[in-house]
Structure 1
Amino acid sequence: MPDRPIRFLIVDDIAENIMALEALLRRDGLVVDTARSATEALELMLQHDYALAFLDVQMPGTDGYELAELMRSTERTRGVPIIFVTAAEMDEARRFRGYEAGAVDYIFKPIDPVVLKSKAEVFFRIGRQAKDLQRQRDEMQDIALHRDRAMAQLKAHADNSPLAFVTLDRNLCVRSWSKGAERMFGRPAGDMLGMTATAAGWLDEQGAALLTGWLDSQQDGVPRFSAEISLDHADIGPICCEVYGSVLSEGLNRQSLSLQVQDITERKQSEEVRALLIGELNHRIKNTLANVQAIARQSLRQSGSLPEFETSFGGRLQALARAHSILSDATWASAPLDQLIDDQISSGTLDGDRLRRDGPPVELAPDTMLRLALTLHELGTNAAKYGALSVPGGIVHIAWRLEGQRLVLTWRETGGPAVTAPSRMGFGMTLIGAAGGGDAAAVSADWNPDGVVWTIRLTDGVTRLAGQAAAAEALVGQPVIRASTLEGARVLLVEDEPLVALDLRYELEDAGATVTGVARSVPEAMAAARNGPIDLALLDGNLKGEPVDEVAALFDSLSVPFCFVSGYGRENLPQGFDHAPLIEKPFRPDTLRTILTALLARGVPDAAE
């Protein structure tokens, strides 16, 4: 190493000779060791590395020649240069023996200082160069070791990384293909190396044009790029990938492209699902708000006082909120009917000691659960005010059974006051009727003097029936004269939420319009549109989960102005109907009237244009 000095060794049995040689050799960077015998010399040579050894020829015991022969026989000391120091005249025999023993030169006594220093200088420089070479060799070994370790780490990272590492040359020929690339694309390196990415089928023409553009860029430094590219998997076809590229220069007009590739197929699918879920969440929230709005308005319409409104509205709102809690616990998939009944008991609407229930375990879909929650609340409230639960000893029986794909639920009261049919249908009765999803035939009441019996038939939400969409057919006949204002306009409501439909009906009728019907499914809407005449239609964003594209197309073909009434945003509605306004749930009555009046005034473009 550079901080370690050069060492010479002087071996002589005479101290004065050693002192004289040492004085002549003294210089910076040189350490001179001395030995008085061959034994001392050999011990020193086992401890230190020497650039030169001066050996006195004439020594008692082991002489200089014998010591030289011992040095040449040992691996450690074999390479030490030897200069013999002698006062004797040299004949050819002695000279030959010295060189044969390993000497490189002779110095004769009396010693000429100039000759000694010049010869010593040669070996000093050789020794220093040897140490420099040794240092450089050690440094190169360290560099090579670090390089090998770094390459091994880089290869391990590349092979174990979830990313694919690929290197392409200027012609997009594959020069490296990591284990991650093999896993990601199902293509072994042997099939890819040396092939152009396009010829191998991994990269399409659009992707090749993009990567070529990266290579042709004139940015300073090391240009870096990123893009989403479709790359081919050997087994499943194109997959969506995020690609990060660096353009590396390899000399004049020579470039390579280092790529790091991430498979983002799952992320893209998650983004699509998230967008769908957000749209569905918005739809559910706005539908819920529209239901609350309808409950508030109708409770207010039919309440005699503010305290009566507060009691009726608060109870209905709490019933709706508790049903939402049940569905939230069930992640809005479905919930047991028994749990809904238990909730009515815990809230105080029903008396568990005076309730008898019987029926198989069933689960209800969210929409059905919410409607039935309001229905049971109204039935329990009415029973506590006027029916079996208003007197001691009264009993409520709730029984249900499955008839094929239909659930039939019976509410029967016994032991209460004598029952007479109500003189008018209040909003509470409307909420009970809403349990059937708006189908008037699904809910019936038997006003038996011994106790009322309600029968509710549920089809949706127990076993869902897929609606069959009918093909749109244009009406043939005389031109239809349509209204231009809401006063006297014939309006078709296409809405599967009974309370929202009821609220819309009241608002339209207050504005002077005539509601010709309420369609709650795609087939019903198609039939109602074809059976007209209709001046205007209000169309929900979907009907029981079924898209309404065919209904919207039929309205356009019949030149019926329509608008969407939905909790969905425009991006989740049928495409191609931007001329149809969107009224978002929950709606304001003044906004509803303004939009519908403007829609009637302008109509819709003729489908044939």
Structure 2
Amino acid sequence: MPDSQIKFLVVDDIRENMVALEALLRRDGLQIDFAGSAAEALELMLVNDYALAFLDVQMPETDGYELAELMRGAERTRNIPIIFVTAADRDERRHFRGYEAGAVDYIFKPLDPVVLRSKAAVFFRIGQQARELECQRDEMRVLAHHRDIAISRLKAHADNSPLALIECDRNLTLRSWSKGAERMFGRSAEAMLGQRIAQSGWLDAEAAGILQTWVDGGTSAQRHSAEIDARRADGQTISCEVFGSTLCDLNDGNLSLSLQLLDVTERRRAEEVRSLLIGELNHRIKNTLANVQAIARQTLRQADSLAGFEQGFVGRLQALARTHSILSDMTWSSASLDQLIDEQIRAGTLDAARLLRKGPTVQLTPENALRLALSLHELGTNAAKYGALSVPGGEIRLTWTYNDELLVLRWEERGGPEVHPPARTGFGTTLIRASAGCEDDGVSVDWSASGVIWTITLSVGVAQPNQPDQERLIEPAKIESGRPELDGSRVLVIEDEPLVALDIRYELTAAGAGKVDIARSIGQALEAIRAAEIDVALLDGNLSGERVDEVANALRGRKIPFCFVSGYGRQHLPQGFQDAPIIEKPFRADALLPVIHELIRR
């Protein structure tokens, strides 16, 4: 029989009586168990739950009254309803004993079927109701268990969430303050709950007014959002995105406001910095282009030939580019004078073996560094053309002092040809004189017969770390002389800027390259590497915003020598290719061709 059935127990030592009771009580949903003795009855009651027990009063050994007393003495059987069944016991005193033992009624033999069925039906319905209540109780326990788990999860999410979860009533009195709110605002729930937002010191009147309009608007809007400023307990102001939902209590109709706040202080600060950097970048790019334009115009006006213009213009552009690289490495904060001199040595403008420099370590602002780099380039170029570096044995003495925030730089040439003042002032001289910025008397020149002496004075934009004066001799950069020929070599140029690619193709073709192919994307480059016969490749550091690691690996896989042609430094190029030379943009042909020739020779 299924467990959902209601169970009755009939206890009688006479089998015929049990059969008669069973015949009268039989109905759907009812299970009747039988016991012939008190011991058997107690054993069944320890196993089953009974809605009613019929006990025969007259039984051998243990009668019905004694069995009832035993049932009332045990926790499991104490609440089972008992109806005594008797044939002749109408003694009132015995009846009282039965009721004292826990009986709810008596039935006398011979049994009246109508009375028996009506009394049994009452307990059958009570048993059904008890069973339903038990089922409901079990269901409620399951629901309560799931509810407790859900509440625990929600509380864990709320406590660990980066959001501040806050609730308040229609008067903006705080009713809930999560752990996230405690962390974000440094205010405990104990200190905040029960306070009106406007008086809590957490939000100002304007922000509180925004929240009040959300509540006053009722539940018509599904979702509200705004950006507000909030105050931490330590007085710090933080920027927040707040999302709100207005809720209505279905029981009393009262409104409440549920808020979720996200701290966007760092994001807003990053946006401000980004905007500032974009503006600064725009300013610097336009200034740089204006400088390039001015250099191009002035160089062209004073050039004797197209070749002279190219040499002068490209050299000055290289000086600017190298200084930009230095400043980029220092996040455009400053550059040291030593770095500017080292770059001129690497570019071949100055010969380290014939340069004596002495002076303290000083840092220059970006503006001073750019101007002074151009000046050093012009000084070195002039010395190589007309001065001390144009003959064997000549040398340059470059010394500087820094006192009272004043930098005095002295360029002195010795051992060169006899010096005569120039008949006219060229653009190079103008650039040198511009190195002092707006100060008209910041640059002076002495056209001494033994060697020209330039003195450059900077009074602003110079700083000095605490380091002693140094006298240095730097090994010169090894740059091959002459114009090497490429002897019909097959070259792949991987470059996304069409003008730069065409310029490189022109220089390579003029130097004798046999075939120059151009790839402007990652896909074109990989296809060319796979299909074409290539002697050497030139690889841009970035193709339309994509990294070129895959292309570099493909070149290495086919054992094709290559160099990077890029405005990036080594740290921003694919790693693991330290053996690949770097040609910095903008480049000169006399810097490009020797590198390619050497790669082919290897």
Give the TM bin, normalised by the shorter chain. 0.5 to 0.7
Report the identity percentage: 66
Amino acid at match of 2:349: T
Amino acid at match of 1:246: S
Q: Does the 8 Å CA contact 2:219/2:246 hold for their aligned counterparts?
A: no
Kindly report which structure 2 residues correspond to 1:545-584, keeping only aligned pairs within 5 A, or say none: none
Using a 3 Å threshold, how does the CA distance of structure 1 residues 447 and 163 change in structure 2: closer, same or farther?
same
Shift of residue 193, structure 1, vs aligned partner: 4.7
Provide the rounded CA distance (Å) in 1 between the counterparts of 2:366 and 2:167: 53
Shift of residue 194, structure 1, vs aligned partner: 4.6
Specify the SS of the correspondent of 2:197: coil
Shift of residue 405, structure 1, vs aligned partner: 0.5
Using a 3 Å threshold, how does the CA distance of structure 1 residues 95 and 325 change in structure 2: closer, same or farther?
same
Shift of residue 97, structure 1, vs aligned partner: 3.2
Shift of residue 321, structure 1, vs aligned partner: 1.3
- Asked whether 1:452 is paired with 2:452, we answer yes
Shift of residue 200, structure 1, vs aligned partner: 4.8
Provide the rounded CA distance (Å) in 2 between the counterparts of 1:405 and 1:73: 105
Q: Does the 8 Å CA contact 2:420/2:447 hold for their aligned counterparts?
A: yes
Kindly report which structure 2 residues correspond to 1:219-368, keeping only aligned pairs within 5 A, or say none: 220=220, 223-231=222-230, 236=235, 240-250=239-249, 254-368=254-368
Using a 3 Å threshold, how does the CA distance of structure 1 residues 17 and 395 change in structure 2: closer, same or farther?
farther
Q: Does the 8 Å CA contact 1:55/1:84 hold for their aligned counterparts?
A: yes
Provide the rounded CA distance (Å) in 2 between the counterparts of 1:5 and 1:190: 54
Specify the SS of the correspondent of 1:27: coil
Q: Does the 8 Å CA contact 2:11/2:55 hold for their aligned counterparts?
A: yes
Provide the rounded CA distance (Å) in 2 between the counterparts of 1:325 and 1:415: 34
Aligned to 2:28: 28
Using a 3 Å threshold, how does the CA distance of structure 1 residues 436 and 204 change in structure 2: closer, same or farther?
closer
Provide the rounded CA distance (Å) in 2 between the counterparts of 1:258 and 1:242: 14
Provide the rounded CA distance (Å) in 2 between the counterparts of 1:39 and 1:102: 18
Provide the rounded CA distance (Å) in 2 between the counterparts of 1:5 and 1:352: 108
Structure 2: 5+ residue stretches without partners: 465-602
Normalising by structure 1, report the TM-score: 0.67
When the two chains are superposed, the root-mean-square deviation of aligned CA atoms in Å is 3.3
Q: Does the 8 Å CA contact 2:219/2:247 hold for their aligned counterparts?
A: no
Shift of residue 330, structure 1, vs aligned partner: 1.0
Q: Does the 8 Å CA contact 2:65/2:101 hold for their aligned counterparts?
A: yes
Q: Does the 8 Å CA contact 1:24/1:117 hold for their aligned counterparts?
A: yes
Greater Cα shift, 348-357 or 198-207: 198-207
Amino acid at match of 1:431: L
Kindly report which structure 2 residues correspond to 1:33-182, keeping only aligned pairs within 5 A, or say none: 33-148=33-148, 150-151=150-151, 153-154=153-154, 157-158=157-158, 161-178=161-178, 180-181=180-181
Shift of residue 235, structure 1, vs aligned partner: 5.2
Provide the rounded CA distance (Å) in 2 between the counterparts of 1:125 and 1:429: 117
Shift of residue 427, structure 1, vs aligned partner: 1.7
Amino acid at match of 2:223: R
Residues 267-315 of structure 1 deviation map (CA, whole Å, 9 limit, x = unaligned)? 4444333322222221112111111111222222222333322222222
Provide the rounded CA distance (Å) in 2 between the counterparts of 1:351 and 1:377: 12
Using a 3 Å threshold, how does the CA distance of structure 1 residues 156 and 423 change in structure 2: closer, same or farther?
same
Shift of residue 188, structure 1, vs aligned partner: 5.6
Residues 91-125 of structure 1 deviation map (CA, whole Å, 9 limit, x = unaligned)? 33443333333222334445444433333222221
Shift of residue 75, structure 1, vs aligned partner: 0.9
Q: Does the 8 Å CA contact 2:12/2:59 hold for their aligned counterparts?
A: yes
Shift of residue 129, structure 1, vs aligned partner: 1.0
Provide the rounded CA distance (Å) in 1 between the counterparts of 2:3 and 2:279: 75
Q: Does the 8 Å CA contact 1:167/1:258 hold for their aligned counterparts?
A: yes
Q: Does the 8 Å CA contact 2:363/2:463 hold for their aligned counterparts?
A: no
Specify the SS of the correspondent of 1:128: helix
Residues 132-178 of structure 1 deviation map (CA, whole Å, 9 limit, x = unaligned)? 22233333444445545555555555555554444443344444455
Q: Does the 8 Å CA contact 1:406/1:463 hold for their aligned counterparts?
A: no
Provide the rounded CA distance (Å) in 2 between the counterparts of 1:411 and 1:212: 73
Residues 450-476 of structure 1 deviation map (CA, whole Å, 9 limit, x = unaligned)? 433322222232049xxxxxxxxxxxx
Using a 3 Å threshold, how does the CA distance of structure 1 residues 43 and 344 change in structure 2: closer, same or farther?
farther
Specify the SS of the correspondent of 1:130: helix
Q: Does the 8 Å CA contact 2:219/2:248 hold for their aligned counterparts?
A: no
Amino acid at match of 1:102: G
Aligned to 2:399: 399
Using a 3 Å threshold, how does the CA distance of structure 1 residues 460 and 54 change in structure 2: closer, same or farther?
same
Provide the rounded CA distance (Å) in 2 between the counterparts of 1:205 and 1:230: 11
Using a 3 Å threshold, how does the CA distance of structure 1 residues 119 and 297 change in structure 2: closer, same or farther?
same
Residues 385-408 of structure 1 deviation map (CA, whole Å, 9 limit, x = unaligned)? 333333444333322221221122
Amino acid at match of 1:425: T
Residues 378-425 of structure 1 deviation map (CA, whole Å, 9 limit, x = unaligned)? 222233333333344433332222122112222233343443333222
Provide the rounded CA distance (Å) in 2 between the counterparts of 1:297 and 1:189: 70
Specify the SS of the correspondent of 1:76: coil
Amino acid at match of 1:236: G
Provide the rounded CA distance (Å) in 2 between the counterparts of 1:271 and 1:92: 97
Specify the SS of the correspondent of 2:441: helix
Specify the SS of the correspondent of 1:227: strand
Provide the rounded CA distance (Å) in 2 between the counterparts of 1:309 and 1:28: 115
Q: Does the 8 Å CA contact 1:412/1:452 hold for their aligned counterparts?
A: yes
Shift of residue 257, structure 1, vs aligned partner: 2.7
Provide the rounded CA distance (Å) in 2 between the counterparts of 1:23 and 1:319: 117
Aligned to 1:374: 374
Shift of residue 21, structure 1, vs aligned partner: 3.8
Amino acid at match of 2:279: G
Residues 580-609 of structure 1 deviation map (CA, whole Å, 9 limit, x = unaligned)? xxxxxxxxxxxxxxxxxxxxxxxxxxxxxx
Specify the SS of the correspondent of 1:408: strand
Provide the rounded CA distance (Å) in 1 between the counterparts of 2:15 and 2:321: 112
Normalising by structure 2, report the TM-score: 0.68
Q: Does the 8 Å CA contact 1:358/1:398 hold for their aligned counterparts?
A: yes
Using a 3 Å threshold, how does the CA distance of structure 1 residues 114 and 462 change in structure 2: closer, same or farther?
same
- Asked whether 1:7 is paired with 2:13, we answer no
Residues 457-514 of structure 1 deviation map (CA, whole Å, 9 limit, x = unaligned)? 22232049xxxxxxxxxxxxxxxxxxxxxxxxxxxxxxxxxxxxxxxxxxxxxxxxxx
Q: Does the 8 Å CA contact 1:335/1:366 hold for their aligned counterparts?
A: yes
Using a 3 Å threshold, how does the CA distance of structure 1 residues 344 and 237 change in structure 2: closer, same or farther?
closer
Paired residues, number: 462
Q: Does the 8 Å CA contact 1:394/1:416 hold for their aligned counterparts?
A: yes
Shift of residue 85, structure 1, vs aligned partner: 3.5
Specify the SS of the correspondent of 1:198: helix
Aligned to 2:472: none
Specify the SS of the correspondent of 2:456: strand
Amino acid at match of 1:119: K
Using a 3 Å threshold, how does the CA distance of structure 1 residues 4 and 345 change in structure 2: closer, same or farther?
farther
Provide the rounded CA distance (Å) in 2 between the counterparts of 1:346 and 1:12: 119
Q: Does the 8 Å CA contact 1:332/1:366 hold for their aligned counterparts?
A: yes
